Homo-oligomer: A and B are copies of this chain.
Amino acid sequence: MPSAEGAPSSINSTETNGAKLEDLTADNLTQHVIKISSNISNERVKYIFSKLIQHAHDFVREVDLQRDEWEASWQFLTEVGQACSPDRQEIILLSDVLGISALVDTINSRQSPGTTESSVLGPFHNDSHFFENGDSISSTGAGDSMLIRGTVKDLHGNPVHGALLDIWETNGNGHYDMQDPEKDGPDCRGRFYSDEEGKFYINGVKPVDYPVPYDGPVGKVLDLLNRQAYRPAHVHFLISHPSFEKLNTALYNRESPRLVLDPVFGAKSSLTKDIVWCEDLEMAKIHKTRPIVRKVDGQDREGFWLLEHDFILADKQEVKKRKTHD
């Protein structure tokens, strides 16, 4: 039962913040709502809410939102909220398919030119186990063997030792572990550290295109907009280190035909990589990569897939210095 306990009820002249009893029309309502909401000292909160109210009202006025459309909107948002669970974040998915998450990412990473571009976090990040370089984060049989390796560096090319890499990807069937009824623990995800030379190498599987969760209300929106639901194959990377800005990014398979149609707008040229077929079994041995057999030009060949990338992190001190000079 909703309770009135603690509900602020006091009325005094400052609280009205200069607002008057007036008939609220489509033209003066917005300013009235902003005025009533401006009697606070936190300037950032005041600013965000004033702009939120302004833009939301501008939208309603511009499209001349009809009552049945407003009803459909709150019913939809209720469904989206109720579809959320510990294993599913439908609100983030909505933000993703409307390009809001990608925009927030883009805005927030503008501050670090020269560093690796960011990409959307998506709804599938989760806790995972710690691994050593050379370990495999995927249970066998879940997809084509792929070695993921590279170096973590700073802007001046110096290796970053002890960067925590948190990576996650689908298995070969296009499912994250939490979507797979046969998995009850982490799979195809893990955390590990870059070594003294900034290097990392970990074994996973070649990612495949997979649909964003499609059986909920956001799936209906993709349907309504005649948009395809498959994300281009990728591996997520969340890289952190005490001295550097946290990097939330992903690497995309250049082979995917859905790069431009990414339903969550995460794919970027600088993050699009060739996942190459490699038959260097000595290299496999060094990195503890499990070779597979694959038909190449009609012949069975032993090898593995290789995804290689160097990540460049932004130094916290330098970002701070630049911000101060702005």
Residues of chain A touching chain B, judged by Cβ–Cβ distance below 8 Å, are: 1-11, 15-16, 19-26, 29-30, 32-33, 36-37, 39-40, 45, 47-49, 51-53, 55-67, 69-70, 74, 77-82, 84, 88-89, 91-92, 95, 98-108, 110, 174, 179-181, 209-211, 213-216, 219, 222-230, 257-261, 265, 267-270
Contacts and interface: CB of A to CB of B under 8 A. Distances in A.
A185 B259 CA distance: 55
- Copies of this chain: 2
Interface centre among A70, A216, A222 (most CB of B within 10 A): A70
Contacts of A74: 89, 91-92, 95
A110 to B, nearest CB: 7
Closest 10 A-B residue pairs measured CB to CB?
A: A81-B81, A2-B213, A33-B99, A7-B211, A7-B214, A55-B59, A7-B229, A21-B260, A4-B211, A74-B91
A29 B228 contact: no
5 contacts: A15-B261, A16-B261, A23-B269, A45-B224, A49-B225
Nearest to A221: B49
Nearest to A272: B21
A260 B81 contact: no
Nearest to A211: B7
A101 B69 CA distance: 12
Contacts of A69: 48
A67 B19 CA distance: 33
Given A32-B265, A77-B81, 10 more contacts: A4-B211, A7-B229, A8-B229, A11-B261, A33-B99, A55-B58, A67-B108, A70-B95, A74-B89, A77-B80
Given A4-B214, A29-B106, A260-B19, A62 B56 contact: no
Nearest to A58: B55
A47 B24 contact: no
B33 A98 contact: yes
A293 B37 CA distance: 41
A78 B95 CA distance: 12
Contacts of A66: 108
Contact of A59 (B51, B102, B259, B268): B51
A103 B228 contact: no
A289 B4 CA distance: 30
Contacts of A52: 59, 63, 98
